[in-house]
Amino acid sequence: MTEGSVISIDEKSLQKNVTFLKKKMGKNVCISAVVKANAYGHGIEQIVPLFEKHGINHYSVFSYEEAIRVYVSLSGANTIMIMGWIADEDMPDVIEKGIEFFIFNIERLQVAIAYAKELNIKANIHLEAETGMNRSGLNAEELAIAISIIKENDAFINVVGFCTHLAGAESISNHPRIQKQLKNYNKMLSILEASNIHPKCKHVANSAASFIYPKARMDMVRIGIMLYGFWSSTEVFIQYFNNKANKQDPLERILSWKSQIMSIKEVKCGEFVSYGISYLAQSNIKTALIPIGYASGYSRSLSNKGIVLIHGHRCGVIGVVNMNMIIADISNVPSTEVGDEVVIIGKQDDLEIKVSAFSDISDQLNYEVLAHLSELIERKVIVKE
């Protein structure tokens, strides 16, 4: 664990987000909580039990390793779906545990069938269609081949779902492309069903698409960033509030990140601070050393730009962000001592630093900032009262 640094997860805010999204999606639409990238930096082992406690029973991950972390974090029967990487040697365990997974090329389908035959167990698959994102998925020709293989091996394959991924539903500029993708998806679904393969779960929408394109909700939506309290984009946020009398944001951030002062130093006017010569003290200043850095997920691009909260004051991060340390100017903060709280993300008194502040300064996406938070930082849950 990273010394002197802790990420807190607020259960009450998480519950509010789940409740809001369930109501918005409707009772007939399953919400699959996307918990890839260590649950968007929040911590799989901390987040998954909370989602389960508050009524989420479907989880989407990128890899086998993430799937296993979710598997051991759950207390009851839930569905886990791998959207990305599975090494061939891990396929038997995936099939045995009943974990569902995407089929995005013919090779993976053949590997799955081979192991399913060895185990004499049906593999639970989701056929992923290539509809225009040009990243992963079966094109029309490959889908026809897959259908033929599945029908020949019906005893070992359970086609649970048919899916695709929309290319940037959070931006209105992508609207024509998204409409074309949805048209392609429906055309490929018709081909699948005409072959007497009827997946029970049809899904295409992520957080943004589930709001911008309500018809794209289908049987299930794969929601990630919104469960954690963030809107996919400003455009999605504005569209939601359009024509609404109540302008209060229904989503709440559930993550805060705090550290503490490690050391305090007096720096004389004319002295440089940290590596190189990027920061020159223009007067006598007092600085605080804080034990986080780019190894923790605090980007080097925040050098001489970042802000932290100490004793209810905004303090600038000065000098180059180090691997394990940053330096803050505390000249205007009275009575500081070693061990005092430092807020990196979150609230202190009447002030708040949001993840979006990092994005504005460093040109990083919210997703990127969160995903870079080191897994070595301690995560703790603030239990709902």
Question: Does 91 count as an annotated binding residue?
Answer: no
pLDDT given at position 287:
98
Q: Residues 38, 141: one domain?
A: yes
Residue 2 lies in a domain: no
The CATH number of the domain holding residue 191 is 3.20.20.10
- How many other C-beta atoms can be found within 10 angstroms of the C-beta atom of residue 93? 16
Q: Residues 196, 114: one domain?
A: yes
% of the chain beyond a pLDDT of 90? 87
Residue 107 lies in a domain: yes
Residue 260 lies in a domain: yes
Indicate if 22 belongs to the active site.
no
Separation CA 205–CA 220 (nearest Å)? 8
3-state secondary structure of 48: helix
Separation CA 38–CA 221 (nearest Å)? 20
Among the listed residues 100, 38, 46, the one whose alpha carbon sits nearest the alpha carbon of residue 65: 38
Provide the residue range defining the domain that includes 152. Answer: 11-241
Q: Residues 198, 289: one domain?
A: no
Question: At what angle are helices 64-73 and 44-53 packed, to 10 degrees?
Answer: 50
pLDDT tens digits for 275-302? 999 999 999 999 999 999 999 999 999 9
pLDDT tens digits for 306-343? 999 999 999 999 999 999 999 999 999 989 999 999 99
Q: Is the pLDDT of residue 89 over 80?
A: yes
Residues in the chain, total: 385
pLDDT given at position 87:
97
Indicate if 275 belongs to the active site.
yes
Q: What's the mean pLDDT when you consider all of the chain?
A: 95
β-strand partners of 256: 8
Residue 157 lies in a domain: yes
**What one-character DSSP code corresponds to residue 280?**
B
Residue 3 lies in a domain: no
Structure tokens at 368: 């990127």
Q: Residues 196, 280: one domain?
A: no
Separation CA 27–CA 195 (nearest Å)? 30
Residue 112 main-chain phi, psi, to 5 deg: -60, -45
Separation CA 232–CA 354 (nearest Å)? 15
- Mean pLDDT, range 179-185, rounded to an integer: 97
Separation CA 20–CA 254 (nearest Å)? 14
**Cβ-proximal residues to 140 (8 Å cutoff; 6+ apart), any chain:** 188, 191
pLDDT tens digits for 125-178? 999 999 999 999 999 999 999 999 999 999 999 999 999 999 988 888 899 999
pLDDT given at position 362:
63
pLDDT given at position 231:
92
Q: Residues 203, 327: one domain?
A: no
Q: Residues 103, 226: one domain?
A: yes
Q: Residues 204, 276: one domain?
A: no
Q: Residues 43, 82: one domain?
A: yes
N- to C-terminal Cα separation, the chain: 27
pLDDT given at position 179:
95
pLDDT given at position 234:
87
Residue 219 lies in a domain: yes
The CATH number of the domain holding residue 324 is 2.40.37.10
Q: Residues 206, 277: one domain?
A: no
pTM here is 0.94
pLDDT tens digits for 194-246? 999 999 999 999 999 999 999 999 999 999 999 999 999 888 988 888 878 78
pLDDT given at position 363:
64
Q: Is the pLDDT of residue 1 over 90?
A: no
- Selecting among 16, 36, 202, 258, the annotated active-site residue is 36
Q: Residues 214, 306: one domain?
A: no
- Selecting among 117, 187, 200, 275, the annotated active-site residue is 275
Q: Give the chain's domain count.
A: 2
The answer to whether residues 260 and 342 touch, using CB atoms and an 8 Å cutoff, is yes
Residue 272 lies in a domain: yes
Residue 119 main-chain phi, psi, to 5 deg: -85, -15
Q: Residues 36, 167: one domain?
A: yes
pLDDT tens digits for 25-41? 999 999 999 999 999 99
pLDDT given at position 247:
79
Separation CA 290–CA 270 (nearest Å)? 22
Q: Residues 298, 161: one domain?
A: no
Residue 247 lies in a domain: no
Helix (H) and strand (E) counts for the chain? 12, 18
Question: Does 323 count as an annotated binding residue?
Answer: yes
Q: Is the pLDDT of residue 2 over 60?
A: no
